[in-house]
Amino acid sequence: MATVRIGTRASALARWQTDHVIALWREREPGLAVTIVDLTTQGDDLPEAPLEVMEGTGFFTSTLERALLEGRIDVAVHSMKDLPTAVTPGLAVAAIPTRGPVEDALCARDGLKLARLPAGARVGTSSVRRTAQLRALRADLDYRALRGNVPTRLSRVAAGDLDAVVLARAGLVRLGLAERVTEVFKVEAVLPAPAQGALALQARADDAALIRRLATMDHEGTRQAVAAEREVLRLLRGGCSVPVGALARLDGAQVSVDAGVFAPAGDRRVRVQVTGASPEAAGAEAACQLLARGAREILAALDRTPKVAGGVGP
């Protein structure tokens, strides 16, 4: 069987994710031969750009997608939340493996939790969604934009440059850094990003044989939950990322979605919980209710226009 070329970003977390996928695949195909192709993305080349305008916009995925379309790689491994909600023509997400932890986590000096940080403590975060929700909990802290890979962010706490950072728990667990976590935020307090903790395995849409092989790693429950969450995002977002959180769960034949839109100042939020018969229905209903209850005004204040398709929303 021919060697499969797997494209990935070169960060430690991206390489862990790729190695994890290879291990899963080899459980199903013990003789699998692979070559890992490291690629630098536009997001990697712009280390100072705010992450909130990069996640979900293709900054971290377009280079890998272009390599797929040009035939330079056969499979791309992505963090699912980095993929734009619009499907790239000619490509398909062949598998979404079982999801990792979904929560956000605090890594603070001296083992402190958020409530125990002193007023004015410097807290680094890469996401306007996180900042908005944290400000609602502790408006007296000094929130600062943060870029860099996971070890780099943690090193700023160790060096005393920051008092704490907030990161996705999944990345910390995957890199063996869970001991650095001083508090895991309950999703009731800090709603995660759509598709947080999930991976996407992407291939060319016309490579049916490879898609069938990748599909053996697909986890149906994760795929349905992620589809519902991304439907919320698809219907709410304009061009740039917006402070939207969503988490879906399967409840028998139903899909329940907890979704919210958060004003960056932390002074206003709209949050709903809905249930639907399908991921798309649940996600669409959540978006509709968010807009009806005031999310449109929050988004308008950000100078972003919510995109509502199929008549969803008032």
CB 192 within 8 A of CB 80: no
Kindly tell me the sign of the dihedral angle through the C-alpha atoms of 302, 303, 307, 311.
positive
> Range with the lowest mean pLDDT among 50-54, 181-185, 250-254, 257-261?
50-54
Average pLDDT, the chain: 89
pLDDT in tens, 163-209: 999 999 999 999 999 999 999 999 999 999 999 999 999 999 999 99
For residue 79, the cross-strand partners are 199
Task: Assess contact for 94 and 201: CB atoms under 8 A.
Answer: yes
Residue 253 pLDDT exceeds 80: yes
| Nearest Cα to Cα of residue 82 among 255, 202, 217, 225 | 202
Q: Which residues are catalytic?
A: 82
Q: What is the 3-state secondary structure (H, E, C) of the chain?
A: CCCEEEEEECCHHHHHHHHHHHHHHHHHCCCCCEEEEEECCHHHHCCCCCHHHCCCCCCCCHHHHHHHHCCCCCEEEEEHHHCCCCCCCCEEEEECCCCCCCCEEEEEHHHCCHHHCCCCCEEEECCHHHHHHHHHHCCCCEEEECCCCHHHHHHHHHCCCCCEEEEEHHHHHHCCCHHHCCEECCCCCCCCCCCCCCEEEEEECCCHHHHHHHHHHCCHHHHHHHHHHHHHHHHHCCCCCCCEEEEEEEECCEEEEEEEEECCCCCCEEEEEEEECCHHHHHHHHHHHHHHHHHHHHHHHCCCCCCCCCCCCC
Residue 272: the pLDDT is 98
Domains of the chain are 4-97+198-218 (3.40.190.10), 104-184 (3.40.190.10), 226-301 (3.30.160.40)
C-alpha 230/C-alpha 119 separation (Å) is: 36
User: In this model, does residue 244 exceed pLDDT 50?
Assistant: yes
Q: Would you place residue 54 in the very low, low, confident or very high pLDDT band (cuts 50, 70, 90)?
A: very low
Single-letter amino acid, residue 313: G
Q: Which residues contact 180 (CB under 8 A, 6 or more apart)?
A: 107, 154, 172
For residues 50-76, give the mean pLDDT: 76
Report the relative pairing of strands 164-168 and 104-108 from DSSP bridges.
antiparallel
| Per-residue confidence (pLDDT) for residue 161, from 0 to 100 | 95
Query: Do residues 286 and 248 touch, judged by C-beta distance below 8 A?
Result: no
pLDDT digits (tens, 9 = 90+) for 270-308: 999 999 999 999 999 999 999 999 998 998 887 544 444
Q: What pLDDT, on a 0 to 100 scale, did the predictor assign at position 301?
A: 83
Q: What is the pLDDT of residue 313?
A: 37
Beta bridge partners of 275: 256
Q: Which residues contact 34 (CB under 8 A, 6 or more apart)?
A: 3, 4, 5, 6, 22, 25
Task: Let me know: does 10 contact 40? Beta carbons within 8 Å.
Answer: yes
- What pLDDT does 310 receive? 35
Q: pLDDT tens for residues 207-219?
A: 999 999 999 999 9
Cβ atoms of 170 and 197 closer than 8 Å? yes
Structure tokens at 134: 């944290």
Is the pLDDT at 312 greater than 60, yes or no? no
Give the count of beta carbons closer than 10 Å to the beta carbon of residue 31.
Answer: 6
Parallel, antiparallel, or unpaired: how do β-strands 91-95 and 104-108 relate? unpaired
Instruction: Tell me what pLDDT residue 60 has.
Output: 65
AA letter at 86: A
Whole-model pTM above 0.75?
yes
How do residues 148-159 score in pLDDT, each as one tens digit?
Answer: 889 999 999 999
pLDDT at 187: 98
Separation CA 281–CA 239 (nearest Å): 23
